[in-house]
Structure 1
Amino acid sequence: MLKWVLAWIGLASLLDFVLMGTDKWKARRNRWRVPEKTFFLVALLGGSPGAILGMYAFRHKTRHWYFKWGLPAILAAQVALGGWLYWRFFL
């Protein structure tokens, strides 16, 4: 079960990381952009580590307070929920 959860988180993180890079590329070329709600949706579905890494790796969306504080808040909530689920059902 744990390997499936980690695989899901890895794939969602990779998706959000790629979305950050793609959006930065599109922003530089004045093209159609990825909607901001897409970043948050993928982050809520488990991609918050990739979103945070992509945000700082591509220096993208770092000036927006809702990304700067929102994505780490989502990650903290997911870690807390994961810890609680592990403690509740596996210990």
Structure 2
Amino acid sequence: MHSKRELTTRTLIAAFAAGVLVAAAFVVATDVSVIVAYVLGLGLITFLTYGYDKLQAVRGGRRITEPALLVLPVIGGALGGWAGMLIWRHKTKHASFWIAQIVGTLAIAAALWLT
């Protein structure tokens, strides 16, 4: 059995790698900026991760760790996090998730403003 920390690390590495791959595809296919592509790529992966976790919660299956779900929006997946919270109705009663979404949104806004 893996520790929660190890599962969190693995989840974050996999999500980040998938987000970067999606971002690279966006850049090649649409010629958008790397920052926009990264935000879209990681946002999509975060949205899908929140959806998977919600499905597992309903089914009583193995869940994504909360630290992983909290870090994803902060490292650029906030748009997908917002969508996941609102569409899947997932983690909406947890203040820490709202804070993570706000921090992530501010980070995205700062990155876009600085470029």
Using the size of structure 2 for normalisation, the TM-score is 0.66
1:75 shift after superposition? 0.8
Aligned to 2:58: 28
Aligned to 2:108: 78
In structure 2, which of residues 71, 92, 107 is the aligned counterpart of residue 62 of structure 1? 92
Identity of aligned residues (%): 28
**Bigger relative contact order, structure 1 or 2, given CA contacts below 8 A and separation 6+?**
1
The alignment covers a number of residue pairs equal to 85
Runs of 4+ in structure 1 over 6 Å off: none
Aligned to 1:89: none
1:81 shift after superposition? 4.3
Q: Which amino acid aligns with 2:76?
A: G
Unmatched tracts of structure 2, length 5 or more: 1-26
Query: 2:40 and 2:100 mapped to 1: Cα distance?
Result: 20
Residue deviations 1:13-68 (CA, integer Å, cap 9, x gap): 00000011000000001111001111222222211111111111000000001112
Native 8 Å contact 2:43 2:76 kept in 1: yes
Q: Which amino acid aligns with 2:52?
A: T
- Computed over aligned residues only, the root mean square deviation of the Cα atoms, in angstroms, reads 1.8
Using the size of structure 1 for normalisation, the TM-score is 0.81
